[in-house]
Structure 1
Amino acid sequence: MGDHMDHIDIEGIQRIFACQRDNRQAVKNTNADQRIAKLKALRQVIVDRVDEIDDALFQDLRKQRLGINHYEIQSVLGEIDTAIDGLHEWMKPEVVPASPQLGGKKTYIRYEPRGVCLLFGPWNFPFSLVFAPLVQIIAAGNTCIVKPNEMQPTVSALSAEIIRSVFDEQDVAVVEGGVPLANALLELPVDHIFFTGSPAVGKHIMAAAAKNLTTVTLELGGKCPMIVDQGCDPMTVAGMAVGGRFRNAGQLCLSVDHVWVPEEMLEVFVQIASAVVDKMFYVDGELNKSELSRMVDARNFQRVKGHLDDAVARGASVVKGGQLDEEDLTIHPTLLINVPLDSTIMQDEIFGPLLPILTYKNREDIYRQIDATGKPLAMYIFSDSEEFVEDVLENTSSGGVTVNSMMLHYMEKNLPFGGVNQSGIGRCKGVYGFRELSNARSVFEA
């Protein structure tokens, strides 16, 4: 199949689908040990090719070279290990008490595979967000057609090599290409689609799935707020905000999208955040580009530049950063204040290294804005007051929440991860991913 699949091999795609459909019963009948063997084989190849994966991520996105400790690699290995440890238990029928009036001999839930899955990888974490969902798909006993993201060609090609070296095509197949290929794949009457990406594309996926009543898991994004209470240590919260915004140049669905601070904290917060940006990303006044990923492509560079230009035109002030190096798609870490709520930067998910710092007099201002822009994937609440935390939780909705830290609700393998409405549908990670990729089949024996 060609590099970017301008010529779509429709027959090839249909052949793979037919082959997996014929094989899905055999895969459904595999036991925990057989599925674990597949996962162990995948784990071994990933470990053996760590340096190539690390290098591919640097080539495509200028991600830091971290070897085996690279977060994209570690998150996949963690998902594999969790599944290996849990699979025997997860696959057991779940016995539930029978209602006395019905007098069932046995009532239980069997977790059976959904069948043939279609998996679309995103461009921002092009390795981990292909292989972590794939682990859950395999653990649940499904077959899968994988399409890595074409915007990261080095990672896509390497991911395809890894998949082909580990799996038979009738279990897991991989196809590489762009939007025309994705659209051709969406014509297939698969049993389940797992997609990570933007809400706009998520709507397209869901519309295509509706034609075949295919179930979906959509991992999307949103405007994830960081809400800071009075009395918080400015040093702590400013450091958290900078770390939570500028990792991967803000191209992370869990990134802090904007920060709310009490009016009286603004000045000191900005001072400290600026100093943290200097410490993390600059050496002798020069941006250390090896510490900051670049924007994925020219279109996204221009999109984020547009948000910055619009905000400044409407009266926002750049208090740190603001420089743009178009030739290598770098946007310097940028802090903004006095950002009007009707500017585009406060309407759309930013997905870039810009951080609006907003002030509030009362909590209702925050709740109104969150409600207006849709339920975010994540929310970060910083407070020593149980009442404050509870009030924010009561008056908002989001996929997940971390209190007094960053992204830990995602890293905790015993919590389900996912969004709500605009920020996603379904839950993944660990046993929740296994169940998401399964059909909970009720059985009543009279």
Structure 2
Amino acid sequence: MSGEDHSQKKVMFDGEAASSLVKELRVSFSSGKTRSYEWRISQVKALLKMVDEQQDQIIDALRSDLAKPPLETVVYEIGMFKNSCEVTLKELKQWMAPEKAKTSVTTFPSSAEIVPEPLGVVLVISAWNYPFLLSLDPVVGAIAAGNAVVLKPSEIAPASSSLLANLLGRYMDNSSVRVVEGAVDETTALLQQKWDKIFYTGNGKVGRIVMAAAAKHLTPVVLELGGKSPTVVDSNVNLEVTARRIISGKWCCNNGQACISPDYVITTKDFAPKLVDALKKELESFFGKNPIESNDLSRIVSSNHFARLIKMLDDDKVSGKIVYGGEKDESKLRIAPTIVLDAPQDSLIMSEEIFGPLLPIITVNKLEESFDVINAGTKPLAAYLFTNDNKFKEQFVKNVSAGGLLINDTVLHLVVHTLPFGGVGDSGMGAYHGKFSFDAFTHRKAVLYRGFTGDASIRYPPYTDTKQKLMKALVAGDVTGVVRALFGWS
């Protein structure tokens, strides 16, 4: 960090500016500076220093954008990001080390290795719901892998976007790490450029636009999307703990505005009333009798998202099925935690990703029917199961395809850096977290080493019958065939 003010000023950013920026970063990358272990470590340490020194500003920005409770910011954004940096600092040297690979008799004598190398200049387009974590966590992976990187924060969280541009301009090496603020026009200008990788977090509609733009340059992508993450609840559970953990994943994580928050619950008809009562009891103990006034619940991010959620509640197929909540205050962009029982599958609340504080509960006669309900839709980013039945756990893991599964809790798999975090099918492609972040921005380059000895004549013309038999046996790894060919045995 230098003493100069490198904060980004808002100027017109068009295709020409985007092209110029990419060229500038390619010059920096081509110099080799980002490849060194020392540069990578220095930049990750700078990010940690930034967080330690500017924590209050980060909390204030997220409070401004989402009314996010400070505890949620400290735990789910700052804490998780710091953990990501610390894991990277501890393990980067090992991640960067070439990996030995086995060779075969066909190339004898030889040795081989897989060399991790940076991809080049990469683009990270982040989301508004966790504007700090989802912006910087991929950037850590890109830096750790030795790339130059451009971050495009979400304009829907303007205070966080502005703060990220200012802070990264002050703390990071601006010759290799840059921030571009803006909305659709700026993102479009960036997507017109040739990148070596694009990492996008957001919804499937924009994900398809990103992928189409990347395809023009054969640019690989990581798409972190979302979907309707189901939560299956058995009747043999600790009901109080189950209710609290569902609430924690749904309403204590950005008031449902999270890609892995439980989108809907499936349980049996007989057990549903008990589950609803338990959820009501715990919701009241967490957020009071008037939760819409609670300081421990984030607000809805914008008037557009507020209107989208209210449209789900006002759907004729849902009215009359609200069993808890439903209160709203448009002036404050607040919607109370709301439970809907047995909304039909063709209702808006069941056909679209909710991304808000509404929780439908679907009932079935037998819990095994939940597999058909889940698999009738697109593959979700996460799927949750609460049960004490080990056999049913095995069936769930076997039958449900999702980006990640969690048994007897919600969202916590996100914090385990030894597990890949990513989607499948419509919920995304590629993964990150821990070493998986490093791998996401790395090319695994295959290298085979040979000397000048062992230059067998059988690989060169003329191709005699003996040579053909010998080469066929070598390629197949058939030792007996090699011996027969060498000695002319039939």
Q: Where does residue 457 of structure 2 map in the other structure?
A: none
User: How far off its partner does 1:68 sit?
Assistant: 8.0
User: How far off its partner does 1:11 sit?
Assistant: 2.9
For the residues of structure 2 that align with 1:296 and 1:68, how far apart are their CA atoms? Answer: 15
Residue of 261, 267, 272 corresponding to 2:267: 261
User: How far off its partner does 1:300 sit?
Assistant: 0.6
Q: Where does residue 335 of structure 1 map in the other structure?
A: 339
Residue of 273, 282, 285 corresponding to 1:276: 282
Instruction: Give the TM-score, by structure 1 length.
Output: 0.95
For the residues of structure 2 that align with 1:126 and 1:147, how far apart are their CA atoms? Answer: 11
Residue of 338, 346, 363 corresponding to 1:359: 363
Q: How many residues align?
A: 442
**Equivalences for 1:390-401 in 2 at 5 Å?**
390-401=394-405
Deviation string, structure 1 residues 303-324 (Cα, Å, up to 9, x no partner)? 11111122x5356511110011
Deviation string, structure 1 residues 16-73 (Cα, Å, up to 9, x no partner)? 1101112223347633232111111121011100001001110111001239834211
User: How far off its partner does 1:328 sit?
Assistant: 1.1
Asked if 1:128 corresponds to 2:98, the answer is: no
Asked if 1:425 corresponds to 2:434, the answer is: no
Asked if 1:192 corresponds to 2:201, the answer is: no
| Cα distance change, pair 414–48 in 1 and its aligned pair in 2 (3 A) | same
Bigger CA drift: 289-298 or 96-105?
96-105
Q: Where does residue 319 of structure 1 map in the other structure?
A: 323
| Cα distance change, pair 27–166 in 1 and its aligned pair in 2 (3 A) | farther
Contact 2:122 2:149 in 1 (8 A): yes
Q: Where does residue 287 of structure 1 map in the other structure?
A: 292
Asked if 1:24 corresponds to 2:29, the answer is: yes
2:264 partner amino acid: H
For the residues of structure 1 that align with 2:109 and 2:229, how far apart are their CA atoms? Answer: 47
Q: Return the index of the structure with the highest Cα Rg.
A: 2
1:305 partner amino acid: I
Asked if 1:404 corresponds to 2:408, the answer is: yes
2:143 partner amino acid: I
Q: Where does residue 374 of structure 2 map in the other structure?
A: 370
For the residues of structure 1 that align with 2:61 and 2:442, how far apart are their CA atoms? Answer: 33
**Equivalences for 1:45-444 in 2 at 5 Å?**
45-66=50-71, 69-103=74-108, 105-247=110-252, 248-282=254-288, 285=290, 287-310=292-315, 312-314=316-318, 317-444=321-448
Q: Percent identical across equivalent pairs?
A: 36
1:93 partner amino acid: P
Q: 2:237 is paired with a residue of what secondary structure?
A: coil
Instruction: Let me know the Cα RMSD of the aligned residues.
Output: 1.7
User: How far off its partner does 1:440 sit?
Assistant: 1.0
Contact 1:27 1:171 in 2 (8 A): no
Contact 2:292 2:334 in 1 (8 A): no
User: How far off its partner does 1:192 sit?
Assistant: 0.5
Q: Where does residue 41 of structure 2 map in the other structure?
A: 36
1:251 partner amino acid: Q
Instruction: Give the TM-score, by structure 2 length.
Output: 0.87
Deviation string, structure 1 residues 89-138 (Cα, Å, up to 9, x no partner)? 00000112212333252111111111110111101011111111100000
For the residues of structure 2 that align with 1:382 and 1:364, how far apart are their CA atoms? Answer: 13
| Cα distance change, pair 342–92 in 1 and its aligned pair in 2 (3 A) | same
| Cα distance change, pair 294–29 in 1 and its aligned pair in 2 (3 A) | closer
2:277 partner amino acid: Q
2:386 partner amino acid: F
User: How far off its partner does 1:372 sit?
Assistant: 2.2
For the residues of structure 2 that align with 1:368 and 1:233, how far apart are their CA atoms? Answer: 25
Task: Give structure 2 stretches of 5+ with no counterpart.
Answer: 1-7, 451-490
| Cα distance change, pair 194–104 in 1 and its aligned pair in 2 (3 A) | farther
Deviation string, structure 1 residues 387-410 (Cα, Å, up to 9, x no partner)? 101111211200001111122221
Q: 2:139 is paired with a residue of what secondary structure?
A: helix
